[in-house]
A and B are shown apart, each in its own frame.
Chain A
């Protein structure tokens, strides 16, 4: 049986992990490579780096991090943030990323999804969707950290990017992100049932039950979380043991 995946996500800016982490015994709590290695040791199924660097002249820093990570961490690595062109995708893949995620640029230019997946393969292209509820059972796609309503219906957008060649969808509920109240399960399930590509649930995880719910009720193929792992509340292994005890197939 294919295992459901648990994916820790690291926000990186100017080469450092922000929000900090709280691992015991870490030499440098801000070093993305050291943190990625720690998650690998805990049994993470993948690691995601989100480059939130604001200034474009620091963009190349993420490439060096990805290069170093690829030498030491032998699980899949997804990198997103600031991806605008096919060339950006190529540079990240050549540095050692396995998948590249795109968000705003895909909304502004949907052809980018088609062009990139045609050139490098669907399996390398993740489209990140930030969704916010606008009416019961209806979610719009937002950009710019949830400030800008694109007017796009999330389900329709998910189907469209899948048809354009996306290999996976990273679905974040902007209503839940940062709340620790759990995933938006109705949103997750609606998107997961609408597309034939894998969906990663994101936004709102506060405890291990939330992760299990994302899979069993949200029908997500993978669950992504940041703070519950960064601050040492739970290890990835604990999360997997919890899910396994509830009958969810995981890699232990």
Chain B
């Protein structure tokens, strides 16, 4: 496994073709590999941790494949990008299924509050939050070349609530304000799907591929 490899961690939850193809599109000479092999994750230069579906299933599948250790090790030292449930799993606990998560960051994962999801016009906001929403940025290398307030594609019903506000690198609003990007040291993680977010999403992935935290 060459030093330039970008490992996309595959723990059996959903299709990773979109993520890997989008990364390949911006990877320059680097190799993108979709893998369930802890050794490949350990040898990679940088790691992408995607996730879709329900958090309890994601945690169960991650452990069933023996990948927890590899993910935690990568999150300590390599450029690391969490996407969607891959972001949520970095926190301590999720209300979805009331499960403990990886605990890399202090904080929890909450659901959009159904009763508060009504606009002043009387229109009810649908859950899941699905579609393109604006992201207000906090300064970070991964936003380079992306306008503050640019729109990204979201599909989710839960979002992270970090205990430490300093973790927040991006926020959005859907009935309530919520955190949609977090970062610390070598880790950046987003609730939205950069691989489905057209040019700005590709720019974020390109920034990640070239990132030297």
A and B held together in a complex: yes
Q: A residues engaging B (CB < 8 A)?
A: 1-5, 40, 45, 67, 70-71, 74-76, 93-98, 120-124, 167-168, 193, 196-198, 219, 221-222, 251
Please tell me if the beta carbons of B131 and A3 are within 8 angstroms of each other in the complex: yes
Chain A residues with CB under 8 A of B198: 40, 74-75
The reply to whether the CB of B138 lies closer than 8 angstroms to some CB of chain A is: no
Residue pair A197, B128 in contact (C-beta under 8 Å) = yes
Contacts A74-B201, A198-B126, A221-B126 given; does A45 touch B132 at CB 8 Å: yes
Q: Given A74-B201, A120-B14, A251-B151, are A96 and B21 neighbors across the interface (CB < 8 Å)?
A: yes
Interface residue? B171 (CB, 8 A) = no
Q: Size range of the interface on B?
A: 35 or more
Closest residue to A119 on the B side, CB-wise? B53
Asked if A2 meets B128 with Cβ closer than 8 Å, knowing A76-B153, A120-B14, A219-B123, the reply is no
Which residues of chain A have C-beta atoms less than 8 A from B196's C-beta? 74-76, 98
Choice from A40, A93, A122, A219 contacting B14 with Cβ under 8 Å: A93
Decide if the interface of chain B is mainly helix, strand, loop or mixed. mixed
* B184-213 residues at the A interface, CB under 8 angstroms: 195-198, 201-202
Cβ of B156: which chain A residues have Cβ within 8 Å of it? Answer: 123
Residue from the list A74, A122, A124, A168 in contact with B22, Cβ < 8 A: A74
Mark B147-173 against chain A: 1 for CB-CB distance below 8 A, else 0. 000010111100000000000000001
Q: Knowing A76-B153, A96-B21, A123-B155 touch, does A168 contact B130 (C-beta < 8 A)?
A: yes
When the two chains form their complex, are residues A70 and B17 in contact, meaning their CB atoms are under 8 A apart?
yes
CB of B134 closer than 8 Å to a CB of A: yes
> Which residues in B have some Cβ–Cβ distance to A below 8 Å?
14-15, 17-18, 21-22, 24-25, 52-54, 114, 123-134, 151, 153-156, 173-174, 195-198, 201-202
Closest residue of chain B to A196 (Cβ to Cβ) is B126
Known: A40-B198, A167-B128, A198-B128. 14 other contacts (CB 8 A): A1-B133, A2-B131, A2-B133, A2-B154, A71-B21, A74-B196, A75-B197, A76-B196, A96-B17, A120-B14, A123-B128, A193-B124, A196-B126, A251-B132
With A74-B22, A74-B197, A96-B21 as known contacts, state yes or no: A1 contacts B131, CB within 8 Å. no
Of A70, A198, A251, the residue contacting B130 (CB under 8 A) is A198
B54, A121: Cβ atoms closer than 8 Å: yes
Which residue on chain A has the smallest CB distance to residue B201? A74
A110 to B131, CA, bound (A): 26
Who on chain A is nearest to B21 by CB? Answer: A71
Q: In the complex the two chains form, what is the Cα distance from A221 to B151 in whole Å?
A: 16
B130 & A121 in contact (Cβ 8 Å cutoff): no
A2 surroundings in chain B (CB, below 8 A): 125, 129, 131-133, 154, 174
Q: Which residue of B lies closest to A199 (CB)?
A: B126
